[in-house]
Amino acid sequence: MNTTDAGFDLPMFDTQGEPIAYESRKGRHRRADRPGSIAGARAVGYRSGTQKARLLDAFVSAWPEGLTDEEAAMRAGVSLTSEYSKRCGELRQDGMIAEAYVAPGVVLHREGLAGIPRMVSAATQAGLDLIARRSA
């Protein structure tokens, strides 16, 4: 297990540095969700670990410039019809990536495929270190 400064356990890679496919994370569904939504949230746990590992690799390869979530998904080969933005949000929550700033308090944005501004994030030192340990 890898632990961030925020104290999250991150079972993203096994001892050989391979992505762990399953990641159990609370909060992927609401308590009042219908049974189908709850089942879907549980099922995504079997893809989320590998998707997050691939997305983090993309953010690290683009460091220090950063990527939008959409750019990271395309670079990582993660389908744009998946919940890639949720996996990127989890990487931000875990401290592996963070918003990129052009000035204090001003987040960098780039135009996405739909023509609207998308927030840019970059790998944090924790994300860079995790990938470096995996590659060592």
Instruction: Identify the CATH number of the domain in which residue 128 sits.
Output: 1.10.10.10
The answer, yes or no, to whether the previous bond of 64 is cis (omega within 30 of 0) is yes
- Report the domain count for the chain: 1
pTM of the full structure: 0.75
pLDDT, one tens digit per residue, over 80-98 is 998 899 999 999 999 999 9
For 60, the domain range is: 2-135
Interatomic CA distance for residues 130 and 86, integer angstroms: 20
Kindly tell me if the per-residue pLDDT of 124 is higher than 70.
yes
13-59 pLDDT, tens digit per residue, is 666 666 665 555 555 555 677 777 767 666 666 678 889 999 999 99
pLDDT of res. 69: 98
Spatial contact of 44 and 83, defined as CB atoms under 8 Å apart: yes
- CA of 106: how far to CAs of 6, 72, 75, 93, in Å? 24, 21, 25, 19
